[in-house]
Structure 1
Amino acid sequence: MPLMLPSALDSPRNITGVAPHLLAALRGESDELARARSVVLVVVDGLGAIPLRAHAGHARTLSSAMAKKDVGGAVFPTTTAAALTSLLTGAAPGVHGLVGYRVRHPEQDVLVNQLTDWDRIDPLTWQAAPTVFEQATAAGNAAFVIGFAGHARSGFTRATLRGGEFHPAGSPPDRIALAYELADANDGAIVYCYLPEVDKAGHKHGVDSPEWVAALEDIDAALSQRVPDGVGVLVTADHGMVDVPPHRQLVLDAAGGWHDGIRHIGGEPRMMHVYTEPDIDQGALLARWRRDLEGFADVVSRTEAIDAGLFGPLVSDAARGRIGDLMAIARSNVALYDGAAEDQRGRGMVGQHGALTPEEWRVPFIKLGAFRR
């Protein structure tokens, strides 16, 4: 069965367009967003458009503002490191280079976690695309970032949020209130507000859990605050999520021959980057993985993934070197685990993402304030 790509892959309605449209809205030059005297980008990590609509009664502010057309596509893989970086640079993963959750460092031949292992990599060179904040300040506009205090000096922040003035805040209402305050006080500013609570609840309890619904209700209540006059607010997400029950978890262990010819297994359970030994017959290995994972995952080579445009229309040499020789992209609600991995904590996650299902791929584009027509 051939790999089914989302139709949004070729659509201009994609999270890579968010940063350019926000900057254009400040100049009155966006064909997507109305002119605004300042703009706020609210990213609700993990909030897919499909789960949001399924729980519309628990998100009255968001659902009442969300028209049928207010959806778009994420990027591949549908994981935070790749997608947040695309949101905040306007570049696809093939350009900014964060092509997965855990990827191989080509020079060091080790796996690096794109959210936490920044002691091994330089944020300024590993992710070299200019951020929306750098673009804004270069044009003479103020740029602000609202998040948790513990994130202020992280490597991921320096890679994806550089150029923005960081302001810590605790609860979702406090973060939203501060974002609106900064936007109101600084004409021409772009303000970014990050809300990870829905994603955390989904990973731990699942998308249909009472905990996930409660997190959604809290976010929705925070966004019911009055938007200052002339301020445009765009609410979106980096990706959605699917629930994976225990019986849909496949463990790839040595007893099953899964590590034969394999040097590293990176990525995450719904989108594995598989790095082979240099002398292996990759064609034979690809055929075996396809056969053994038939019905559970689509297995593609690096060349096939790049040629299909999965990582965007352009792929830099740096990004190419980080992409797996093979990729196993989970179908339906399947998760694939490396049985040899030292850290098996991920097997306790209920909600997961990384693959190409509509639940993971489609995200909301909700307009509030000056953007709401």
Structure 2
Amino acid sequence: MHLPDYHGGSIVNLMASIQQGLGGEPHIYPQHRLLTTDQIGQYQQVLLWVIDGMGLNYLRSQPKASHLNANLLGGMTSVYPPTTASAVTSFLSGLAPQQHGLTGWHIFFAELGAILAILPGRPRYGGVPLSQAGIDLSALLNVKPLTDSIPGSTACLVPDKIAKSDFSQYFLGSSKLLTHSSLDELQQNMVERMKRGEERYLFAYWPELDTLGHHHGIWSDSAEQHLLALDHCFSEVVRQCHETGTLVIVCADHGQIDSHPQRRLSLDDHPLLADCLAMPLSGEPRSAYCYLRPDKSECFDQYVTDHLAQQAENYRSDELIEQGWFGIGEPNPQLKRRIGDRVLLMREDYTFNDWLLQEHRYQLVGVHGGLSEDELLVPLIVVEP
């Protein structure tokens, strides 16, 4: 098991370097030890391209992705849990989950009395987006977009299918929005903004590698072929950066591992454990947050020891805050409420799911959210013009 390095070697520290290097407000996290504030401050424009699901170990194992590997400055950690909802929020806010409080795909918001899927912005049980329900996301999150702290113009380049979500619209802040529906269109948008040089900071996001990993496995042929397409796109962006003077940074929110069918556990098969729970699981299938009934803590712990010790590690949730898993510094006032009473951190490639009545029982091949190297470590790719 590995933990995030919030003291200079994580994606949060990268954002501290970017924010301060571009003239933004002082940051509560140290700058990144591999890419400092002073280095970033030399450039008039910075492009950060986040490729969802591109783990460090996975990239290094793919020599055909020669351009990405040739410009690999080193590795760094994601945040805990290493998953899109938590890590992309760190890219967009500059903060760790300790401060932004978004702790996984499914999060219990005590303020609303409901478990939400925060990225699509809906309750887990379904329904309309939060904004249509009259909920002010700014009051719910109480975290400001990083781009609002950077002097000058900024732009966010995101897929059109997520551009209008409450989450995307909130973290867009004052940035210009540019959407794309294909990798070619993203490449065109990145190159065009670099050539124009109007924005000080460009944030680009591409989710398809992660999607292919979930559906087919990160080690599948389809994922490998897509990585090569990303490598070609990167080579074209690099060619342009030498002409525009743009500092290009490429990284990821997390990596992935493949989970075998026999390692995908269901709460349905553990009714005595389910009886200990006060509400459905939240968090991630690799890091499940468990809210316990008041008189069931001993029963829960004993059941995990007797029946799941080979598959999961059982932690008191508040201990993980104390040990710095979610970040350093003053925690979000809602953090403790959003991680339950216990955290089941799955071993090896195990996952643990439960299902609401209306939910389709899908199975993901590629998974993340645990603390293996393959999930936690991400590349830091840097091209200086």
Query: Same fold judged by TM-score > 0.5?
Result: yes
Identical aligned residues as a percent = 27
- Say whether residues 1:142 and 2:156 are aligned partners: no
- Say whether residues 1:151 and 2:162 are aligned partners: yes
What are the Cα deviations for residues 281-313 of structure 1, in whole angstroms up to 9, with x where unaligned?
A: 424423432442212111112211111111112
Task: Find the partner of 2:365 among 339, 350, 358.
Answer: 350
Which deviates the most, 235-244 or 172-181?
172-181
What are the Cα deviations for residues 205-254 of structure 1, in whole angstroms up to 9, with x where unaligned?
A: 11111100111011111111122431001000000000001011111216
- Say whether residues 1:186 and 2:197 are aligned partners: yes
CA RMSD of aligned residues (A): 2.1
Task: Find the partner of 1:21 among 2, 13, 17.
Answer: 17
AA of the residue aligned to 2:18: L
1:41 matched residue in structure 2? 48
SS in structure 2 opposite 1:174?
A: helix
Task: Find the partner of 2:261 among 241, 246, 264.
Answer: 246
2:207 matched residue in structure 1? 196
State the alpha-carbon separation in 2 of the partners of residues 25 and 367 from structure 1: 15
* 1:1-373 aligned within 5 A: 4-6=1-3, 8-26=4-22, 30-31=37-38, 33=40, 35-57=42-64, 59-67=65-73, 70-118=74-122, 119-120=129-130, 121-136=135-150, 139=151, 141-187=152-198, 189-225=200-236, 226=239, 227=241, 228-253=243-268, 256-262=271-277, 263-277=279-293, 279-313=294-328, 314-338=330-354, 342-347=358-363, 349-370=364-385
Q: How many residues align?
A: 358
Contact 2:266–2:352, Cα closer than 8 Å, also in 1: yes
List gaps (5 residues or longer) in structure 2: 24-34, 123-128
SS in structure 2 opposite 1:317?
A: coil
The offset of 1:175, in angstroms, is 1.0
State the alpha-carbon separation in 1 of the partners of residues 288 and 136 from structure 2: 24
State the alpha-carbon separation in 2 of the partners of residues 198 and 209 from structure 1: 11
Assess, with a 3 A threshold, how the Cα gap between structure 1 residues 264 and 133 changes in structure 2: closer, same or farther.
Answer: same
What are the Cα deviations for residues 118-154 of structure 1, in whole angstroms up to 9, with x where unaligned?
A: 5345321232222221112xx2x11101122232221
Contact 1:45–1:197, Cα closer than 8 Å, also in 2: yes
The offset of 1:39, in angstroms, is 0.6
Assess, with a 3 A threshold, how the Cα gap between structure 1 residues 110 and 269 changes in structure 2: closer, same or farther.
Answer: same
Contact 2:121–2:165, Cα closer than 8 Å, also in 1: no
State the alpha-carbon separation in 2 of the partners of residues 270 and 32 from structure 1: 36
Assess, with a 3 A threshold, how the Cα gap between structure 1 residues 168 and 337 changes in structure 2: closer, same or farther.
Answer: same
